[in-house]
Each structure stands twice: as C-alpha cells, then as structure tokens.
Amino acid sequence: MFKVLSASILFIFLGACSSVQKAGVVYHDSFNFSLVKSYSLYDRNSAFSETQSLLDTRRNAIEIAIERTMAKNKFSYEVLDKADVIITYHVFNGKRDEFSKYNKAVHFCTHCLRATTWKTERQYSSISQGSLVLDLVDPKQNRSVWRSAYPLDLKDKENSAETNDRIIQAVSAMLAEYPRTNFNVKLTQ
C-alpha cells in the first residue's frame, strides 16, 4: 500500500514538473497580427540593450530561442528597417528602475492595459523577479503591441544546458500565445 501511494505521489510531482506553464499575454486589438511575416531584433549596440545588464550568454540563449521559434512558425528574419515587428526581451531582476527604463524603450504603458484596446485571454497577474518578458514592437508606431511574461526561475548554480532548456521552454510557451491560430507549433530541440 505504501509503495503504491509513494509511486502515485512521485508520478504527480514528476507530471507537475514536466508540464509546460501557460504564458500570460496582453495585446493591442487594433494591430493586425495576421499581416506579420517578418521580425527583427535590436542590435547589441542599440539603446535597447542598455535598458538592462544581462550576460551575453543569456542574451544569446534568448535570441536563439526566439529565432528558432519564429523560424519554426514560418516567420522570416529581416533587417530592422524592413521587419513587420521587432521582438524585444527583458529578464526582470527585481530592479524597478531598469524595468521602467525597458518599458519606456518599448513604449509600454501599464496603465493603458485598463483601456478597451488591449485584449487577453490569459493575462499575467504580475511580473515577478526572474520573469522573462517579451514584447512585439510595431516599428511604424515604435511601441509595443503585444507582451507576454513567463516565470523563468533561473538558478545561479544551473549549468548552461539547464538554463538554455528553461529559456527555450519559456520563449516557446510565450510565442505560442501569438494572436493567430496557426502559430501554435511548439519549439523542439
């Protein structure tokens, strides 16, 4: 009896640990997401990269996960001037001033979320320390039109493979919430 109970509890915990969390998302309903065919990322030397201090290895892992997920979903990478959207990211380290600087850089207004122009089915409740935030910026308006947040919970003593796996899982879950029905292909390694 004890072995069956122990095995059941272990199975429940393993299932809970292996399940992919749903990402919270909000987006502007006046932006036509179905017209988006290409994306870009800001250059490393841009003002955007100065909005937070982030190790190059973390930046690389996030950008590679974004590129792979977008490629799997048939979006093409374009130079900044020709892209339909620009994907930005921020790992919230608990420093509100850095996050405020990032929000200003992508022109994201937290107070505007109460407006009727923003929609969501699964809004994030709050962004906690260690969360990854992705924004899609409309280059014509130079402002965020879509945001997703996902708790990364990265550990300092994790090896790079564990960190990369967690980032891939987060980016995949976040971009699966893109407001278009054929964008739900999951990233596989």
21-33: average pLDDT: 83
Q: What pLDDT, on a 0 to 100 scale, did the predictor assign at position 188?
A: 41
Query: What is the CA 2 to chain-centroid distance, rounded?
Result: 42
Collapsing DSSP to helix, strand or coil, 101 comes out as helix
Tens digit of each residue's pLDDT (9 = 90 or more) over 100-156: 889 999 988 776 665 555 666 556 667 778 889 999 999 999 999 999 999 987 766
Tens digit of each residue's pLDDT (9 = 90 or more) over 158-183: 778 888 899 999 999 999 989 864 44
Q: Identify whether the C-beta of residue 107 lies closer than 8 Å to the C-beta of residue 144.
A: yes
Tens digit of each residue's pLDDT (9 = 90 or more) over 102-116: 999 998 877 666 555
Q: Does the pLDDT of residue 49 top 90, yes or no? A: no
For the chain, domain boundaries? 23-180
- Residue count of the chain: 189
Could you tell me the pLDDT band of residue 94, with boundaries at 50, 70 and 90?
confident
Domain 23-180, CATH: 3.30.160
pTM: 0.79
Q: Does the pLDDT of residue 41 top 90, yes or no? A: yes
Greatest mean pLDDT among 2-6, 24-28, 40-44, 133-137 lies in 133-137
Nearest CA among 126, 123, 54, 137 for reference residue 93: 54
